[in-house]
Amino acid sequence: MHVVWAHDHTFYFNESGKFYSGGKLPYTVWERYLNVFDRLTVACRGKRTQADADMSGKTLSSGPNVDFVVLPSLSNPVNRLTKRGYVEQTLTDQIRKADAVIARMPSEIGAEAIRIAKRLGKPYAVEMVACAWDGLWNYGSLQGKLYAPIALWKNRRLVKHAPFAVYVTERFLQERYPCPKGHTASCSNVELPSVGEEVLQQRLARIQGGEGPFTIGLIGSLNGRSKGIDIALRAIAMARAQLPEAISFRVLGDGNAARWQQQADKLGISEIVSFDGVLPSGAAVHEWLDDIDVYIQPSFQEGLPRATIEAMSRGCPTLGSTAGGIPELLDEECLHRPGQAAALARQLIRSAASADWRSEQAERNFSLAGAYTKERLDVKRHVFWRAFSHYVRSGQALSELRTEGVNA
């Protein structure tokens, strides 16, 4: 069975024909689908690189039974007018040859793929990974704010009528983008390895030892403000006088750090701020997290953030905004509304002042993160995609699927 997977993710490729991701979509993600389907065509954005370009920090997305179709962006008004015809024709050609469509939303390419699938009578499923409203309203531009209510309405309509929909959250996205008549499931797109109890014990020993600088950490792209890096910098500057004298703030993520370094300079905290670039996923990121005392995620937009769950799996005390599914992960006392730097500053002061509080949060977070291991989530994903494949093959109505007990 051949499926077209559609999303706005930008992959990097060169003349070798291999495609790379900035870290979120390695080949192992495609294996989730290939466990059920035979072949995957990934409809996406792309950026051509030089043959000798440094791909360190990026992950290989190419592999057996996966091919890529690169499309222009439809995320700005000019391209929507001048390039939509090309995107529509290319997607139509690909979807006509396929058996079904999986659209990861929100995305312009995903939305276009759904519309074409419906026109061609092809089965489709929606993966809801973030909120269109949050992303556009908090992007920072007037154009984004004007388009936000339109995007919210469009995405709600597309999800509402989907025969299959899977959400990365347990409640947030389901409430904002309901799929009342479809076959639905909740399954994070995070994949964590099983973590041994020794990780928690090492964390607790670090907390009680109190050696070295007090280190605050954040993982997120430096491109744009959706991860709240500016809020983090402002909060640390506000709290600086009441935080330990030996302190550092480390940011891990891709992109140009210049604008954030300039802000740190203006706030008078540049000497404690470092931007650590990109590390390969897995052990290198885990080692980085093990050197963090408090992890923060002051985002303006999220689905269910992988970085937050990964930090929790290393026993990190964690503070975050109320964006997206973050409240499903953290204690209420660890939350602040997006953009509230003063509230985050107060939370940082409390966190630094109490080793007992950090130990309590470390144990809580480590325990909760166990629900997001690869082993557990693979089972949920397989059940959902198996049900979708059954629907595609048989053409049965959804009510018949439920009668047969396929719904999980």
pLDDT at 342 exceeding the cut of 60 = yes
Which amino acid would we find at residue 373? T
Range scoring the smallest mean pLDDT among 116-120, 147-151, 200-204: 147-151
Average pLDDT over residues 221-234: 92
Q: What is the pLDDT of residue 408?
A: 38
Q: 48-105, pLDDT tens digit by residue? A: 998 778 777 688 999 999 999 999 988 777 777 888 899 999 999 999 999 999 999 9
Sequence-ordered list of residues with C-beta below 8 angstroms from that of 265, at least 6 positions apart, any chain: none
Using a 10 angstrom Cβ sphere, with 0-12 exposed, 13-18 middle and 19 or more buried, the burial of residue 229 is buried
Range scoring the smallest mean pLDDT among 95-99, 202-206, 275-279, 342-346: 275-279
Give the pLDDT band of residue 139 (cuts 50, 70, 90).
Answer: low
Q: 212-222, pLDDT tens digit by residue? A: 899 999 999 89
Q: 96-113, pLDDT tens digit by residue? A: 999 999 999 999 999 999
- Report whether 134 contacts 38 (CB < 8 A): no
Hey, which residues does 148 pair with through a beta bridge?
none
Give the pLDDT band of residue 406 (cuts 50, 70, 90).
Answer: very low
> According to the 3-state scheme, what is the secondary structure of the chain?
CEEEEEEEEEEEECCCCCEEECCCCCHHHHHHHHCCCCEEEEEEEEEECCCCCCCCCCEECCECCEEEEECCCCCCHHHHHHCHHHHHHHHHHHHHHCCEEEEEECCHHHHHHHHHHHHHCCCEEEEECCCHHHHHHCCCCHHHHHHHHHHHHHHHHHHHCCCEEEECCCCHHHHHCCCCCCEEEECCCCCECCCCHHHHHHHHHHHHHCCCCEEEEEECCCCCCCCCHHHHHHHHHHHHHHCCCCEEEEEECCCCCHHHHHHHHHHCCHHHEEECCCCCCCHHHHHHHHCCCEEEECCCCCCCCHHHHHHHHCCCCEEEECCCCHHHCCCHHHEECCCCHHHHHHHHHHHHHCHHHHHHHHHHHHHHHHHHEHHHHHHHHHHHHHHHHHHHHHCCCHHHHHHCCCCC
pLDDT at 301 exceeding the cut of 90 = no
What mean pLDDT is reported for the chain? 90
> How many residues are present in the chain?
408
Give the pLDDT band of residue 396 (cuts 50, 70, 90).
Answer: very low
- Please give the share of the chain, as a percent, with pLDDT higher than 90: 71
Cα-based distances in Å from 237 to 24, 51, 95, 256, 375: 31, 43, 52, 21, 41
Q: What is the pLDDT of residue 404?
A: 40
Q: What is the pLDDT of residue 400?
A: 41
pLDDT at 124 exceeding the cut of 80 = yes
Which amino acid would we find at residue 221? S
Closest CA to 385 of 24, 40, 105: 40
Give the pLDDT band of residue 386 (cuts 50, 70, 90).
Answer: very high
Average pLDDT over residues 310-328: 95
Average pLDDT over residues 224-235: 94
Q: 152-207, pLDDT tens digit by residue? A: 999 999 999 999 999 999 999 999 999 999 999 999 887 788 888 999 999 999 99
Q: What is the pLDDT of residue 398?
A: 42
Alpha carbon of residue 88 to chain centroid:
26
- Please give the share of the chain, as a percent, with pLDDT higher than 70: 95
How far apart (Å, rounded) are the C-alpha atoms in residues 164 and 160? 10
Q: What is the pLDDT of residue 16?
A: 84
How far apart (Å, rounded) are the C-alpha atoms in residues 47 and 32? 25
How far apart (Å, rounded) are the C-alpha atoms in residues 107 and 6? 8
Q: What is the pLDDT of residue 74?
A: 82
Q: What is the pLDDT of residue 252?
A: 95
- Report whether 376 contacts 190 (CB < 8 A): no
**Residue 17: left (phi > 0), alpha (psi -120 to 50), or beta?**
left
- Is the pTM higher than 0.85? The answer reads no
